[in-house]
Amino acid sequence: MIPTSVSAAAVTGLRVLRPNPKPSTAYSYSETELATGDDLFKHHHNRRRRMSDLAKEVDVEALIAISVGFPVDSLTEEEIEANVVSQIGSVEQANYIVVRNHILARWRSNVTVWLTKDHALESIRAEHKNLVHSAYTFLLQHGYINFGVAPAIKEVKFKPPEGFSKGNVIVIGAGLSGLIAARQLISLGLKVVVLEGRARPGGRVRSKKMTGGQNGVAAAADLGGSVLTGINGNPLGVLARQLGVPLHKVRDICPLYLPNGRTVNSDIDSKVEASFNKLLDRVCKLRQAMLDEVKSVDVSLGTALEAFRHVYRVAEDPQEQMLLDWHLANLEYANASLMSNLSMAFWDQDDPYEMGGDHCFIPGGNERLIRALAEDIPIFYDRMVESVRYATDGVLVYAGRQEYQGDMVLCTVPLGVLKKGNIEFVPELPQRKKDAIDRLGFGLLNKVAILFPYDFWGGEIDTFGHLTEDPNMRGEFFLFYSYSSVSGGPLLIALVAGEAAVKFEKMSPLESVVRVLEILKGIFSPKGIAVPDPLQAVCTRWGQDQFSYGSYSYVAIGASGDDYDILAESVGDRVFFAGEATNKQYPATMHGAFLSGMREAAHILRVADRRVSPAEKSNTSSQENVSVVDKFFDTPDLKFGNFSVLYDPMSTDLESNCLIRVELHGEKSLHLYCLTSRRLVLELSKLEGDLSRTEMLTRDFGVKLVGWNNLSAAVGSLFTSIELARSV
């Protein structure tokens, strides 16, 4: 019996073991669908390759590209946007795909080196140089090649970029998405600062060293993201290879135990598993029929499954009911939520994109990857972001009573933080994005990690399950992970999912550990195996964590995969979003977070490259902004002498910002500007004469009058507020 053989609508993510993952070869295509490559690759005079050998090589490279997420015979949306070919659907496109796959496969064969464009050209005929340039540039900028933490990669990536910086980016959050985005942005020529609310990097990836006993028993426990779900094409697998870390395949054997400690009968086990999969099959057929008839109808997955269970009289025997509840608990673990919250229509919308291959542990914990990614990145810890203000000319981020100014900001905070509204966005985020934040679910999974003096459960398995008689508590310690083979010590981690995960946060840690020990003794004591006292125990409380408020995202009733895309949308080419909840293909996974960071780094680069040069900017966009502002000054909120004032329409506070324009007369009128408070403006208005006002402003208040281009980014948010108020 294996923990999740969900055949009908297989569950993806960090969270479920998949004993029979879909292999890459499940993607079928004929040789006629791809260019053969014969006219692309160079041939050697003394050992000319046979066409069939070359076609095989092209096929292998295509499979590698598929495992990374590229379609078989078409371009991705990112490639189309990057204009990698001049004509969609042409022979050029077919040739480009072969070249792209070749470059990708070549780097994947040795991820410890920096693949140069010249290396890529070595095996491609000279007349296809433009295709090589196009494919290489795309793969490099979008983080498909030459990424990671190998010494040769870091040496190239962290060389100071030539020429002026393409922009300044503030990254909020030092989790996986924030760290890889920061690394990639730096290598692409942008200046980056990372603001992290915690005192450590990693976000929801946290490895804790546990120790105890006279002999100094120690182990590393992954309290957050833990399993690499599918190693084929997984970028986290690339990082592990670069660090020389051997991955441990999570073994498929998972015995299940009844409350009395007996092993579940294999025949009953197989029968209920098959029934469970049939229930999911029937739900899939039902939802397809419903969606064909009425597009907007949605109910909970739990409601649909329970209805079919009654109709087809599934699991009426008490033991069968416990087994079915175990499968449902596993499904709730997969989605970090109760079955009653999951969308029947779209709960598994990411299933077609899942990565194939084994599920693996990283020996020593996933924090090994985090430490490597955080190295050499400018991260400011204990900086909880309170406010993001953005406008046409930049962003201001306020964290820990400090102001950070940049051209763009990348927000990588978990969906739970966005739902709480702990970060103020000025102006507010578009309603479309706020609605998506509300619709998507953000669920809960908790763990109890226990270090024992020795491994009493046996090292030949990585998982075992426990059944319960109470359906409402089916997710309470229903699955145990054995980390003995990877953590360095005898460590067990018990999972708490579904309704039990919510109740768990109200229990004391002592109660939780006692309950786990009761379950373990119930399993092993009848076998004559004593359960020793633990050396150390740790209980997670992800729902109470102010930097996450939960574990990972899921598709709630009324939501769909499109909401992940909406969350990923940028706002005004100034505010960008990354994180697992912005990745429609790989939500709720560590690699999904990683890939979203790469995606947004490429997006930010495109925006930065679109921006005009500084000289052009001063003669075009800035001039346009000035002309709009001057129109506002035609009807100022206050005017005295040559001083005109625009108030912040969003606030009447005396300390709120005001924009002052001073008109200087000569052969040609000149306008100078400054930002100051409403209180100081009122004091200026009481003086007689512009000279006295200017002296008070500059000498007494220390305010400089400057040209429009030299105003701080704060004027952008004020300007936006004024523009919005006056457009009503």
Q: What DSSP element (H or E) covers 182?
A: helix 176-187
Strands, sheet with 191-195, edge to edge from the N-terminal-most edge strand: 379-380, 191-195, 168-172, 408-411, 575-577
Q: What is the CA radius of gyration of the chain?
A: 29
Terminal alpha carbon distance of the chain: 64
- 181: tokens are 């985005």
685 labeled part of a ligand binding site: no
CB 62 within 8 A of CB 233: no
C-alpha span between 527 and 696 (Å, rounded): 87
The type of residue at 514 is V
- 13: tokens are 């993510």
Contact partners, residue 442, CB within 8 Å, separation at least 6: 336, 414, 415, 416, 419, 549, 550, 551, 552, 553, 554, 581
Residue closest to 538 by CA, chosen among 205, 204, 224, 216: 224
C-alpha span between 465 and 256 (Å, rounded): 4
Residue closest to 178 by CA, chosen among 381, 15, 363: 381
Contact partners, residue 582, CB within 8 Å, separation at least 6: 564, 567, 568, 596
Q: Give me the torsion for CA of 378, 381, 387, 391, rounded to 10°.
A: 0
C-alpha span between 402 and 22 (Å, rounded): 49
CB 480 within 8 A of CB 464: yes
CB 410 within 8 A of CB 577: yes
C-alpha span between 138 and 124 (Å, rounded): 17
Task: Count the residues in the chain.
Answer: 728
Max Cα distance, the chain (Å)? 101
Helix, strand, or coil (residue 184) = helix
CB 660 within 8 A of CB 681: yes
Cα–Cα separations (whole angstroms), residue 198 to 149, 174, 553, 592? 23, 9, 21, 21
C-alpha span between 189 and 65 (Å, rounded): 27
Enumerate the H helices of 24-90 as residue ranges. 51-68, 77-81
CA–chain centroid gap for 710, Å, is 36
385 labeled part of a ligand binding site: yes
Helix, strand, or coil (residue 639) = strand
Strand-strand pairing, 228-229 and 441-442: unpaired
CB 359 within 8 A of CB 227: yes
Tokens 């706002």 correspond to: 571
Residue closest to 279 by CA, chosen among 305, 318, 245: 305
Q: Per the omega criterion (within 30 degrees of 0), is the bond before 414 cis?
A: no
Binding-site residue positions: 177, 385
Binding-site residue positions for FAD: 177, 385
